[in-house]
Amino acid sequence: MKTVLSTTYFKEEIMESLGNVFYKPGEPQNWIGRNDGDTPELKRWHQIIEFINLDDHLPDLNSQYVLLGFCCDEGVKRNQGRVGAKDAPEALRKVLANLPNHLPNSRKIVDSGDVICISDDMESAQNELSKRVAQILEIGAFPIVLGGGHEVTYAHFNGLKRYSMSKKIGVINLDAHLDIRTTIDNQGNSGTGFYQIIEEGIKEGNSVKYLAIGIQDISNTKALFDFAQERGVEIIKADQISAENLQNIKTQILEFSKKVDHIYVTVDMDFFASAFAPGVSAPAFNGVIPDATFQTIYQTIISLPNFDSIDFAELNPIFDIDNRTTKLACDLIFKLVNKPL
């Protein structure tokens, strides 16, 4: 009898022969920039960045910041969005390279490389990212995941879940969209991450808490709002973000953080008004302005004592104008790493 081998078999054989094609360590050639001198006060990030290979013996990086790219926008494609977010890690590194070094000698920025989506195999890329995020957390470091579509959320959350012994994890999502669409044929996409997280949490008996900030009525169906209400999702809409309501927002964020042991933050760049963030998969013309009110909200979030990891999603360099979106994301990263200890 003739044996028929499936395409999955051949795919697995090819992957094994090539090694781990879903992960690529950080490389110095990705960090090139202006050189104003070699003394600490003149250096820029490209002069201080360090590199690790997550497949090697890992040093203790307690309380240090580790960058990890997610080169994937298959979820955006499945969700009928504008593809291009897979190129965000490269675009972000180009801008980050030239940022001035304001860090104390005790603090490091480390590039651990990229997780790469091969062909349309988003699920394998998500599993790889989950594993790598857990690795970074296990060495005491703080993961900053760069780029990719918002399919990054499901993977990033599972990395934190893999690392943590706690069943009480909270996610703060800065986003115009709730991203709680149901899966199609058991396949996720960039808009299903929180549906997958919440439903799996219920099955596993985990207490997953979800706070969505910047949500817009015009960008979400009534069915999504109804599902969010059924599942106890906390929502702060974009039109509620104002200086007059700032204290209430800060209080809600602080109270939310007390309900969980770990906080993971995901920043979808379409949270911002398209004048400030044109380079995204799904632009929001009336999104949030990154003014003093927003900056206070952001500082409140990144100062939470149980804040453990962050990613910046849906940045699409193809549609960016003068690197506005990229520079905005880099400014948020700069503020994060330079916050007081």
DSSP lists the bridge partners of residue 65 as 109, 142
128-170 residue pLDDT tens: 999 999 999 999 999 999 989 999 999 999 999 999 988 899 9
Torsion, Cα 6 7 12 14, to 10 degrees, reads 130
- What pLDDT score was predicted for residue 10? 41
99-132 residue pLDDT tens: 999 999 899 999 999 999 999 999 999 999 999 9
> For residue 297, how many other CB atoms are within 10 A of its CB?
20
Question: Are 38 and 66 a contacting pair, CB within 8 Å?
Answer: no
- What pLDDT score was predicted for residue 166? 83
For the chain, give the number of residues.
341
pTM of this prediction exceeds 0.75? yes
Among 282, 187, 179, CA closest to 233: 179
Q: What is the DSSP letter of 269?
A: G
